[in-house]
Structure 1
Amino acid sequence: MIGRLRELAPKSIRHKLILAAVACILVPAALTLIIYNSLTQEAVKRQAVSNAEDSLQLVSGSVMNSLKGMVTIANYVQTNPGLRAYFKLVASGNASGNEYERFMDSNRVLEQLDTLTVVGQNCYVTILLTNNAYYMNYSVSDYNPLDLKKKPWFQKLMELKGLESYWIGVESTDFSYDKFDHPYQLTVARTLRLDSTEIYGYAIVTIMEDQLHSIFGNLSAGQKVTLLDSAGMIVSGGDPESIGKPFPYTAAVDHLKDSSVVSIAGERYLVAQQQIPFNGWRLVLMQPYSQSIVDISSIFNRVFTIQLISFFVFLLLLITLVRAFTKPLVRLGKVTTAVQRGNLLVRSGVRGNDEIGRLGLLFDQMLDRVKEMIAEVSDTQARKRIAELKMLQAQINPHFLFNVLNSIRMKVMKRGDPDSAKMIGSLSMLLRMTISREEDEIFLHEEIDLVSHYVSLMNLRQKEEAALQLDIDPEAFLLNVPRFFLQPLVENALIHGLSQKPGTISIRAVVEEKFIVLTVEDNGRGMDSSELSSLTRKISLEAESLPGKAELKGSFSGMGLHNVVERMRILFGGEFAIEVSSIAGEGTVIKMFIPHREVIRDV
């Protein structure tokens, strides 16, 4: 039986992928459709309630921001030390200064009141003092602040304590400029008190009711939001004719604690409420339940149908795509079998921008390369022998060159020209260090010898000689250093520092606890501060493009100061440091701090 099942099992990757895809789609899809059908109705209700709560939450945030803005303005007037002090003086009749100073103080207060108004929002701020002095951000011709004392609610302000606010609710608009376009207004009032709790003034902030009503206009179809005060009177929302009147559905919604579906006058409504904590008002959202779920139910039904149809469409599409995607793999499998049988001329021809296409290309290139390598193996040794022969023919034995130079030097000395002989000897030594030495590092004493020969050659080239002074601690002689790391520094001192004039170049090496301090100093022309700053910035870089640098022109070694610093950092790491100091007309000092490390090597 087990053997029979193994025979029936798919053997190609194409069939395995198709069966796996069908299983992965069919099983979850069937379970999803079964569960979906049972949970749709409850989900529709929960979604409708959630949508209503979300809409109410957005409206509540905007409404509370507007109302909190009014409270914030009142708080600012009541707690600002400068305004409080000024209003107290005015209320007590003890305002100081002449008439012009009092006018400027009053003008500054009015400017502060103007800044409290949010841009794009009609907000009226009134400060009314007990001595009938007033300050506001609107014109007296628009509304006389003293008329506030005639309001029926004005006497109730006497009962407020501390920072308590009195919310007047909705009223007809008092401001003549806004009466036509904004028929209703909302007002909050505060008392201004002395430390003795005696009232010396009032802060009244007013906004237009339609600023809140405009927020309610961005709701979904059928959703209506109403703002009610603590007495159940309509503050904003609904029909403009109903503003200031009792809410008709108070009895039906008062007992609700959470969002719910209730029956009102034989029709089911989705009701959501939210309290405004700081003034006892509340927002009530109502929507016919049939309208709240019509879109959701329609969406669920359409989704169910689309899922059913798309399942079969995608299943057929998936099988087709799997066959198309695996076709190159089938082709590669056949070509691999042919190569295994020894046919190296077959090619897959599989191409494309994906992994399979690149695999086919690389496989064909591999076969081409194998064929080329088989052809190259036969003549590799012959070409190597030809190359070695040409190399031997092109080589010049360095020892032959050194022997010839020494022979020339001896003949020149016999003829009585020691200067020329000395120049040839120094040149022979430099060439020996350049050509015959393969190692990158040498001992410091070898580098000192090389620099000595270089200075001797330069002195023979120029009319006036430069003196080389050496002061090296014996312990520093066996320090491993890069070849030709001192020569560029000495060359700079000769060419740029001394300008090929007589002078002294000093090289000192002092062994300290952690470092060997190596100093190259000349008494040449030096550098001014700008030149020194530019040089310091350049050598601080870890890598520098060498071609084209002015300091490399005429350099024997082809390496400049930047290259020396880079080579020392590569050899000694980040512990290596260099300092350059110079005074114009006195000379330049280059000081290198070389960390200790193992210096013993085979010689």
Structure 2
Amino acid sequence: VVIVADLKRVIGDLPKDWGEGAGKIAMSDGQELFFSEMPFSQTDGLRLSSHGENGYDIVEENGQRFFVSYVKSAYKNWTYWSLIPFDAMFSKISAMKTILISLFILFFLIAVLFGRKMARGITSPIEKLVAAMKNVQTGDFKLAPLTRAPSDRQDEVSVLNRNFFTMVERINELIAENYEKQLMLKETEFRALQAQINPHFLYNTLESINWLAKTNRQPQISKMTESLGFLLRNAINMKNDVVTIEEEAEIVLHYFTIQRFRFEERFVFELDIEPAVKKCRVPKLVLQPLAENAITYCLEPFIEPCHIHIKACKKGGFVYLTVADNGPGMDEDFLEKARKKLVRTRGRGIGLQNIDERIQLMFGKEYGLTISSEKNKGTEMLIKIPFQSGV
């Protein structure tokens, strides 16, 4: 039986991984080639007598290099040869290398763009926040280029953004409040300057009346004018809010001088100030409103002569200022209102609550004004303050 195999056709049907013209096949029996697709004019370079089982070699033919590999078969001691041109091999590798480099460059550009976008998302809010801080540093509190971060974002930059917004809004509120207060202060100062015109004119007028009364030998008018001028100066002078008991008693004395000429024999007053307490300091205008209150509720509705006794004495480590009268006294309802400091004195309108609060503000909550009264037995108002040397 003879079997004829067309080796060329069989080899032609094999897959050509390296393209047309590559992957040439040859077969030998150890002595000579009995099949060859190789374009060699000489086959000695293939080392047909090689005793190795398999291997590879590099040969050169007509200035062209080839990669030759061979495998020895156990059947009939045949050797199979495969020939691949170097150009065919490295063209594929170069193409693969070019593709890989292109893919790497593409991925690198994508990574750079993505990283830039992420970095921009992080640095952009910080840059805006820094720009807003610089604007605030120069006095611009508008925050126009900056927007408040959403409350659901809890990253550090967003928290800093919201806190900065809150701080600037609070600063704006304080600036607005301070601006309004400054305007009110300026307006008050302006009105105070305007108000000084009338008192000066009044003082000059009183001085003229006093001079005229002395010229015409009217001592009562002169004394009333002097006392009125003294009271007006002390009422308007707000430079000293704290005076000594001696100075406060002098104010009361001038006030009683005017009232004595008004009510004549119906009004009797006593002023008893111990020398030890004369230099003790008290808030200005605490005795005069109480004396005025005694005249209002004792002398005016009372037919009998009104006795008002003002006393200042030291007991232990305290000083007691007393304004007592022999008037009709107070009923329970009115006394309760007076104790709650709901009764206002007439004239300047300085209420009992105002006197009590100023004393407590200066000395403490344990000091202040107390009122005691009994129907048809008069009223006594007592101020308690700590004893001080007044130095």
Contact 2:132–2:146 (CA under 8 A) maintained in structure 1: no
Distance 2:232 2:123 in 1: 66
**Which residue of 1 is the match for residue 320 of structure 2?**
517
Three-state SS of the structure 1 residue aligned to 2:360 is helix
Distance 2:308 2:132 in 1: 74
Distance 2:296 2:215 in 1: 33
Distance 1:497 1:559 in 2: 18
C-alpha distance 396-526 of structure 1, shift in aligned 2 (>3 A): closer
**Which residue of 1 is the match for residue 257 of structure 2?**
456
Residue-by-residue CA offset, 1:196-228 (whole Å, 9 max, x unaligned): xxxxxxxxxxxxxxxxxxxxxxxxxxxxxxxxx
Alignment of 1:172-571 (within 5 A): 330-338=123-131, 347-350=145-148, 352=150, 355=159, 358-359=162-163, 361-362=165-166, 394=194, 396=196, 401-462=202-263, 465-499=266-300, 501=302, 502-536=305-339, 538-539=340-341, 549=342, 551-552=343-344, 555-571=346-362
Contact 1:464–1:500 (CA under 8 A) maintained in structure 2: no
C-alpha distance 367-568 of structure 1, shift in aligned 2 (>3 A): closer
Superposed CA RMSD: 4.2
Contact 1:552–1:559 (CA under 8 A) maintained in structure 2: yes
Distance 2:171 2:333 in 1: 64
Asked if 1:584 corresponds to 2:375, the answer is: yes
Distance 2:317 2:359 in 1: 16
Instruction: Give the AA of the match of 2:318.
Output: F
Three-state SS of the structure 2 residue aligned to 1:456 is helix
Residue-by-residue CA offset, 1:543-563 (whole Å, 9 max, x unaligned): xxxxxx5x326x233212222
Distance 1:576 1:587 in 2: 23
Instruction: Give the AA of the match of 2:277.
Output: A
Distance 2:120 2:268 in 1: 83
Contact 1:348–1:360 (CA under 8 A) maintained in structure 2: no
In the TM superposition, residue 439 of structure 1 has moved relative to its aligned partner by 1.3
Contact 1:423–1:457 (CA under 8 A) maintained in structure 2: yes
Instruction: Give the AA of the match of 1:594.
Output: I
Three-state SS of the structure 1 residue aligned to 2:296 is helix
Three-state SS of the structure 2 residue aligned to 1:559 is coil
Residue-by-residue CA offset, 1:338-384 (whole Å, 9 max, x unaligned): 56898989611225557556446458769999xx9xxx9xxxxxx9x
Instruction: Give the AA of the match of 1:456.
Output: T
Q: Percent same amino acid at aligned positions? A: 30
Distance 1:387 1:530 in 2: 42
Distance 2:238 2:172 in 1: 44
Alignment of 1:84-95 (within 5 A): none
Residue-by-residue CA offset, 1:295-321 (whole Å, 9 max, x unaligned): xxxxxxxxxxxxxxxxxxxxxxxxxxx
Q: Considering only CA atoms, is the larger Rg found in Structure 1 or Structure 2?
A: 2
Contact 1:505–1:522 (CA under 8 A) maintained in structure 2: yes
In the TM superposition, residue 404 of structure 1 has moved relative to its aligned partner by 4.0
Distance 1:578 1:434 in 2: 21
Distance 2:358 2:192 in 1: 32
Residue-by-residue CA offset, 1:246-290 (whole Å, 9 max, x unaligned): xxxxxxxxxxxxxxxxxxxxxxxxxxxxxxxxxxxxxxxxxxxxx
Three-state SS of the structure 2 residue aligned to 1:575 is coil
Three-state SS of the structure 1 residue aligned to 2:376 is coil
C-alpha distance 367-447 of structure 1, shift in aligned 2 (>3 A): closer
Q: If the length of structure 1 is used for normalisation, what is the TM-score?
A: 0.36
C-alpha distance 421-351 of structure 1, shift in aligned 2 (>3 A): farther
Distance 1:461 1:329 in 2: 85
Distance 1:461 1:396 in 2: 28
In the TM superposition, residue 531 of structure 1 has moved relative to its aligned partner by 3.7
Contact 2:326–2:377 (CA under 8 A) maintained in structure 1: yes
Distance 2:351 2:120 in 1: 62
In the TM superposition, residue 481 of structure 1 has moved relative to its aligned partner by 0.7
Contact 1:402–1:428 (CA under 8 A) maintained in structure 2: yes
Distance 1:529 1:341 in 2: 68
Distance 1:365 1:581 in 2: 53
Three-state SS of the structure 1 residue aligned to 2:223 is helix
Residue-by-residue CA offset, 1:450-496 (whole Å, 9 max, x unaligned): 11222233344457642110121111111101111011211111111
Residue-by-residue CA offset, 1:139-173 (whole Å, 9 max, x unaligned): xxxxxxxxxxxxxxxxxxxxxxxxxxxxxxxxxxx
Distance 2:258 2:377 in 1: 25
Distance 2:371 2:356 in 1: 12
C-alpha distance 330-454 of structure 1, shift in aligned 2 (>3 A): farther
Q: If the length of structure 2 is used for normalisation, what is the TM-score?
A: 0.53
Residue-by-residue CA offset, 1:102-148 (whole Å, 9 max, x unaligned): xxxxxxxxxxxxxxxxxxxxxxxxxxxxxxxxxxxxxxxxxxxxxxx
In the TM superposition, residue 412 of structure 1 has moved relative to its aligned partner by 2.9
Three-state SS of the structure 1 residue aligned to 2:147 is coil
Alignment size in residue pairs: 252
Instruction: Give the AA of the match of 2:223.
Output: K
Alignment of 1:109-120 (within 5 A): none
Contact 1:532–1:582 (CA under 8 A) maintained in structure 2: yes
C-alpha distance 530-394 of structure 1, shift in aligned 2 (>3 A): closer
Three-state SS of the structure 2 residue aligned to 1:510 is strand
Distance 2:187 2:371 in 1: 49
Could you list the runs of 5+ residues in structure 2 that have no partner in the other structure? Answer: 1-118, 153-158
Instruction: Give the AA of the match of 1:560.
Output: G
Distance 1:351 1:449 in 2: 67
Contact 2:369–2:381 (CA under 8 A) maintained in structure 1: yes
Three-state SS of the structure 2 residue aligned to 1:552 is coil
Three-state SS of the structure 2 residue aligned to 1:574 is coil
C-alpha distance 360-579 of structure 1, shift in aligned 2 (>3 A): closer
